[in-house]
Structure formats: C-alpha cells, structure tokens
C-alpha cells in the first residue's frame, strides 16, 4: 500500500465552527467570568454521543444554524432557549439529535435543572416533542424565551451523500477481523461523509417562524 491508503489518519473535526453559549449559572457560581461563553466543538459532541456519524454531525449543525440565526450579535444563553421537536424522543434519529441539542443548550424536560435560588438559570420544561410539523427531514424550532423570536431548522438528511464502498467493512471492524487497509478505507469514506455534513450549508434550511 502506498500514499493515503497506507496511512491510518487521525480523525479531527477542528475545522467545524464551534458553538459558543453563555451559562448564567456557571457565571454565578464563578465557573465562568461574566459574559464568557462555554465553547462546544464537534469533538465535544462526539464524546457525548460516543461516536461520529451524519446524525451526530447534523445535530451539531442544527444547533449551530438555529442559534446563529437567533443570536446574531450576542452569545446565546442557556435557560433562555426553548426547543420544539417534530418527532418523538424515542425515535432513532430524533432521540440522538435532541440529546445533543439538550447537551449544548441545556433545554430539558421536566427532569431538567430547576435553577438556583428559586429558579435562576432553570432549564426544565424547555424542550418538547411532537410539537411542530415535520418538514423535508428532521425539524426543530428554537425560540428565545426573552424575545419570542423563533426559527425553524430542517436537516435534509435525504440529501446527504451516500457512503463510499469502504463502509462495507463495518462488520469486519466490529468483529475485529478488518485489515489495516479495510480499516483505513472505512475511516476515509465514513468520516469524509461526516465532514460533508459539517461543511455543506445546503443540507440545512433555516427560516423565521410566526
């Protein structure tokens, strides 16, 4: 083997623009300085999900797109973002995506954080399921609780390119029989597909609601 096929490349997604979000509770408890945001990279999402795939990458972009549209001149604020999800939380796609949305925004159901000193920075009851009509793919509405402004984000999953032939080696990777070449071909085709989701804006549509 020569060239690219002979090299087991390190997977890194550092080129994806991170999501920066303030957390009033972290500021109050002196974890962050006032106005200083938490920074979530796609690598953080990979750690939360335990894997990298087009669904995880799409989740990151959904948050990135939605918050970027709602907060053009300031950082988003945890506890100030409500999320409406088109599907059910036990759906294979919506479940994964909603968990990543909650991880970044803090938006949770009734079991979420109740806030400090009577509710300061609370995040409970800020995400709801089966609460918006689905568009051409997984659909989410992000709403600022302070202004009522909201945007709908649709992830056009059907337009994500097909995986390359290297992904046919997944079974061999799982059972431990894959050769170095098969592992590298899988890595190349699988992660190049993920990088497409992280970089192709046409896979997402964002529009104001109301």
In the predicted model, what is the mean pLDDT of the chain? 91
DSSP-based three-state secondary structure for 27:
helix
Local structure of residue 176 (DSSP, 8 states) = T
What six digits make up the tokens of 165? 């032939």
Q: In sequence order, which residues have a C-beta less than 8 Å from that of residue 77 and are 6 or more positions away?
A: 21, 22, 23, 24, 146
Q: Which residue has the higher pLDDT, 64 or 10?
A: 64
Q: Report residue 34's pLDDT band, with 50, 70 and 90 as the boundaries.
A: very high
What would you report as the CA-atom Rg of the chain, rounded to the nearest whole angstrom? 19
Q: From residue 79, how far is each of 122, 191, 203 by CA, in Å?
A: 6, 33, 28
pLDDT tens across 153-173, in order? 999 999 999 887 888 889 988
- Each domain of the chain, given as residue ranges in start order, spans 16-208
Local structure of residue 121 (DSSP, 8 states) = T
What six digits make up the tokens of 136? 């051409």
pLDDT tens across 59-105, in order? 999 999 999 999 999 999 999 999 999 999 999 999 999 999 999 99
Report the alpha-carbon distance of residue 163 to residue 102 in Å, rounded.
28
Tell whether the model's pLDDT for residue 206 goes beyond 80.
yes
The greatest distance separating any two alpha carbons of the chain, rounded to the nearest whole angstrom, comes to: 64
């Amino acid at each position: 083997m020569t060239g690219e096929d002979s090299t087991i490349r390190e997977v890194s997604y550092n080129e994806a623009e991170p999501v920066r979000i303030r957390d009033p509770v972290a500021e109050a408890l002196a974890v962050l300085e006032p106005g200083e945001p938490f920074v979530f990279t796609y690598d953080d999402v990979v750690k939360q999900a335990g894997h990298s795939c087009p669904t995880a990458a799409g989740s990151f972009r959904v948050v990135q797109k939605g918050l970027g549209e709602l907060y053009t001149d300031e950082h988003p604020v945890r506890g100030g973002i409500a999320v409406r999800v088109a599907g059910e939380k036990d759906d294979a796609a919506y479940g994964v995506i909603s968990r990543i949305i909650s991880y970044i925004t803090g938006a949770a159901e009734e079991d979420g954080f109740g806030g400090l000193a009577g509710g300061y920075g609370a995040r409970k009851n800020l995400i709801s399921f089966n609460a918006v009509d689905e568009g051409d793919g997984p659909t989410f509405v992000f709403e600022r609780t302070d202004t009522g402004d909201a945007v709908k984000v649709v992830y056009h999953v059907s337009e994500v390119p097909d995986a390359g032939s290297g992904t046919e080696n997944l079974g061999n990777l799982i059972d431990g029989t894959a050769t170095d070449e098969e592992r590298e071909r899988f890595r190349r085709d699988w992660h190049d597909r993920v990088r497409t989701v992280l970089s192709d804006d046409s896979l997402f549509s964002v529009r104001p609601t109301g």
